[in-house]
Amino acid sequence: MKKIGLIFIFFFVAFGAYLAIRSFRGEGVLKFIRLPNLGASTTLGQYVEAPKGSHVLYPKTEPAMNRPAATPPQGFVGAQLSPYYKRVYLSAVSHPYYANDPRGQFTLYADASLPNSVDITGWSVKGNGAYGVSIPTAVADFRKLLIMYTPSFRGTDDIVLRPGDSVTFYSGQSPMNGVSLRLNKCTGYLNESYAFSPTLPNECPRAESPRTVYFTGKCQDYLRSINTCHAPSQDSINNALDANDVECRAFVGRLTYDGCYADHRNDVDFFSREWRVWLNQYLPFDVLHDRLVIYDRQGLMVNEYVY
């Protein structure tokens, strides 16, 4: 019995040494011990051989995500849903209260979950009736010179919404020679030249800068009294400033849309997340109740709004 025990001990020592040598060569125990073939019905996925010296199994592909299929709204099937389904939505709808009511408006929002920007020019919004609204182009980077020297200009830029952006549509005509535009940190100055309704946000940079602390005390007092997005009149400037205060007068003279644009166009936050678009047409929606549907350029359904 003692001799048999010694034989078993010798066998296990030799077998352990053999496995250690194979592991040192990077062959591993898995090549010696064959795993059972799970067949085509396996749920473990396909695997490739691990790099030499490693004992990790790597899947060839990422496991598929089991996303639930979108449930189409009434009257639509899955194939009619846009890739942007429920990623762009309608809100703040002011439907017409009588035929040819010029006060209608609505807003489209790009959901913050969008992975990229979306071009909505050429999309449409339709109610239950035969007609709808087609989304036009606008001016993405507004320069006042376009209005001053090209009265017929309407803008040829597609409306591209970043995640979280919005565009509000008005049924009336733009007071700015028909131009629609993306807002920026200087567009509040345009309220003084054009009768916007509602007015554009007054979010212009303050009439101060790091260098204004070196101006005269009278100049600094005057700058602090100027309302945001306000271009002072020449009479106001003459009454407040000395005639020889050249530097201050030059600074105040730039408090216009053109001056603001020149000074701030390259700011990283220059462009707003909001567009304003005037359709110059009555909204062809029902005055009582309607179901508004957004369609993308391919005629696929994006979202709906019921009132």
What is the Cα–Cα distance from 222 to 241, expressed in whole angstroms?
A: 8
Predicted pLDDT at 253: 94
User: Which position has the token pair 């929606």?
Assistant: 285
Predicted pLDDT at 64: 32
pLDDT in tens, 166-186: 999 999 999 988 899 999 999
Q: How many CB atoms lie within 10 A of CB 145?
A: 11
Q: What is the pLDDT along the chain (307 residues), one digit of tens a residue?
A: 545 554 545 555 555 555 444 544 444 443 333 333 333 332 222 222 333 333 222 232 223 333 346 889 999 999 999 999 999 999 999 988 888 888 899 999 999 999 999 999 999 999 999 999 999 999 999 987 666 666 667 678 999 999 999 999 999 999 988 899 999 999 999 999 999 999 999 999 998 888 899 999 999 999 999 999 999 999 999 999 999 999 999 999 999 999 999 999 999 999 999 999 999 999 999 999 999 999 999 999 999 999 9
Predicted pLDDT at 49: 32
Instruction: Cis check for the bond before 198: say yes or no (omega within 30 of 0).
Output: yes
Relative to beta strand 291-295, strand 301-306 is: antiparallel
Relative to beta strand 181-184, strand 105-110 is: unpaired
Relative to beta strand 271-278, strand 166-170 is: parallel
CA-nearest of 133, 108, 105 to 273 is 108
What is the Cα–Cα distance from 110 to 82, expressed in whole angstroms?
A: 14
Which DSSP letter does residue 139 get?
Answer: B
Structure tokens at 159: 């409306």
User: With b meaning 16 or more CB within 10 Å and e meaning fewer, what string describes 271-303?
Assistant: bbebbbbbbeebbbbeeeebbbbbbbeeebbbb
8 A C-beta contact, residue 285 and residue 95: yes
Element (H, E) at 262: helix 257-264
Q: Give ranges for CATH 2.60.40.1260 in the chain.
A: 78-185+270-306
Q: Could you give the 3-state DSSP secondary structure of residue 3?
A: helix
pLDDT in tens, 61-104: 223 333 346 889 999 999 999 999 999 999 999 988 888 888 89
Q: 78-185+270-306: what fold?
A: Immunoglobulin-like (2.60.40)
